[in-house]
Amino acid sequence: MAIYHTPGVIHFEKVRFKMWPWWLKCFGPLSLGFRVLWQIFPNPLASAVFWTVSFVDEPFKWRYYTGWGRACTVLIWAGAGMNSIVTLANNGRMPVQDMGSAFSLWTPATGSTRLAWLGDNYAGFSLGDMVLGAGLLASILVCIATPITEDIQRRRGLLVE
């Protein structure tokens, strides 16, 4: 018995809250830092480092995702992957339709733009942004609709027997 529910009160017993090791928790701040560097110095190396740091920790977290959570994660990865492919193909910059001049890592789409259909063509959003957003929205809905049972806690390694 792990979580007992009384109206308005949740009692936690025999639940351990150690989800990820310390080194895995470092990737979020690292990713944010590399995103800022990429924003300041848009180039292929900064782009590649940001996308690598953003994706490298996900396989370690995969075992904590279950059922629909894994499907949502795949959508998020697919959207981020589309964005990474288009930025890496365009020298570390995201092509944007109907843009006047280059700003930071965004650059106007031209005839020589590679994979222009993956750029920010749809009211400032890219196809990758839309897929990523659908994955985030679906994951929020899954979190709201899924009760945390003992079986889920056991699979995630949260339940101490």
Q: What share of the chain has pLDDT > 90, as a percent?
A: 17
pLDDT recorded at residue 22: 64
- 29-50 pLDDT, tens digit per residue, is 888 888 889 888 888 888 888 8
Is residue 4 pLDDT above 70, yes or no? no
Is residue 64 pLDDT above 60, yes or no? yes
Specify the range with the lowest mean pLDDT, choosing from 112-116, 126-130, 131-135, 156-160.
156-160
Is residue 12 pLDDT above 60, yes or no? no
Is residue 99 pLDDT above 80, yes or no? no
88-97: average pLDDT = 89
Cα 14-152-74 angle, rounded to 5 deg: 135
Is residue 65 pLDDT above 60, yes or no? yes
Please state the pTM of the whole predicted model.
Answer: 0.70
Compute the Cα dihedral for 134, 139, 144, 147 and give only its sign: positive
